[in-house]
Amino acid sequence: QVQLQESGPGLVKPSETLSLTCTVSRGSINSDSWSWIRQPPGKGLEWIGYIYYSGTTNYNPSLKSRVTISVDTSKNQFSLKLSSVTAADTAVYYCARERPTGYYYYVDVWGKGTTVTVSS
Amino acid sequence: DIQMTQSPSSLSASVGDRVTITCRASQSINTYLNWYHQKPGKAPKLLIYAASSLQSGVPSRFSGSGSGTDFTLTISSLQPEDFATYYCQQSYSTPRTFGQGTKVEIK
C-alpha cells in the first residue's frame, strides 16, 4: 500500500513562505493526482489543491495567489509552497492521494500530517 | 464553490445504536460524494465513495445513500472504534469542499 510522509519546518514566521514536501513510498507518483489538505486547530478540513503526475495543477481560489504545488517524479515527491503566511495559516497539513474510479474521485491515502505554526 | 452542510454537528450515541448523519450540497453533485471519519490526532480515513460504494476494508455496518443534493451516512450498529468525527466531501468540482464535520460521542 502506498505511503505518504510530510516533511518540513514546523515553525514559520509571518510573511515568510511555508514549504513542505511529501515523499511517496511503496508506490509510484507517476499516476493519479496528489493533494494538499489542511486543518486549522479544532476546525474542519480545507482543500488546498492538487497536482497530476504530469504537472497539471488545480488550486483552491481562496489560496491561489499564494500557493504553488510542484512534483519531482525522479524523487517520488511533491511539494507545497504557501507564501506570505499569517497566523490563519497555522494548521495540520496533510498530503494525500486522490484517485479515480471511473469518473469518481476520492482521497484514499493520507499522510500522517505535519503541524505548521506561523509565529514570530 | 459548492457548500456542504452536515447535520447534526454532534451527537451522542451508545454502542449498538443505529446512527445517521446527513450531508446537503448547495447544488446538485449527482453522486460525487465521499465520506471520511477522523479520530483525534489522526488523518481522515475514507469510508464511502461515490455516495454508496464501500471502500475496501471498511466494515459493512457503514453504508451511504443519496444523490443530487441530499446524502446520508448510516452506521447500522455503532462500535467503540466508531467514535470519531465524520466528514462528507464533494468531488463533483473543484475546489473540493468538505462538510463542517459531525462529532459522534459516547452517550
pLDDT > 90? residue A31 = no
pLDDT for position B107: 87
Within 10 A of A45 (CB to CB), how many other CB atoms are there? 24
Which value, in Å, is the radius of gyration of the alpha carbons in chain B?
Answer: 13
Angstrom distance (rounded) from CA A98 to CA A37: 11
Residues from chain A contacting residue B42 (CB–CB below 8 Å): 112
| Shortest distance, CA B45 to any CA of chain A (angstroms) | 7
Residues from chain B contacting residue A59 (CB–CB below 8 Å): 95
Beta-strand runs (E) in chain A: 3-7, 11-12, 18-25, 33-39, 46-52, 57-59, 67-72, 77-82, 91-101, 104-110, 114-118
Minimal-distance CA residue of chain A relative to B39: A112
Residues from chain A contacting residue B100 (CB–CB below 8 Å): 44
pLDDT for position B80: 94
Check CB contact under 8 Å for B32 and A108. Answer: no
Closest CA to B101 of A88, A42, A113: A42
Angstrom distance (rounded) from CA B95 to CA A58: 8
Residues from chain A contacting residue B45 (CB–CB below 8 Å): 110
Q: Which residues lie closer than 8 Å to A49 by C-beta, 6 or more apart? A: A35, A36, A57, A58, A59, A60, A63, A64, A67, A69, B95
Quick one: what percent of chain A has pLDDT higher than 70?
100
- B41, B61 Cβ separation under 8 angstroms: no
Check CB contact under 8 Å for A60 and B95. Answer: yes
Closest CA to B67 of B25, B97, B100: B25
Check CB contact under 8 Å for A62 and B53. Answer: no
pLDDT > 90? residue B25 = yes
| Shortest distance, CA A63 to any CA of chain B (angstroms) | 11
Check CB contact under 8 Å for B50 and A106. Answer: yes
pLDDT > 90? residue A100 = no
| Shortest distance, CA B23 to any CA of chain A (angstroms) | 15
Angstrom distance (rounded) from CA A34 to CA A2: 12
**Look-up of cell digits 519546518:** A9
- pLDDT tier at A27 (50, 70, 90 boundaries)? very high
- A20, A116 Cβ separation under 8 angstroms: yes
Q: How many CA atoms lie within 13 A of A101 on its CB side?
A: 15
Residues from chain B contacting residue A110 (CB–CB below 8 Å): 43-45
Angstrom distance (rounded) from CA B38 to CA A107: 13
Minimal-distance CA residue of chain A relative to B6: A44
Check CB contact under 8 Å for B34 and A107. Answer: yes
Angle subtended at Cα A118 by Cα A23 and Cα A49, rounded to the nearest 5 degrees: 45
List C-alpha distances in Å: B60 to A104, B5, B22, B52, B57: 21, 25, 19, 11, 9
pLDDT for position A69: 98
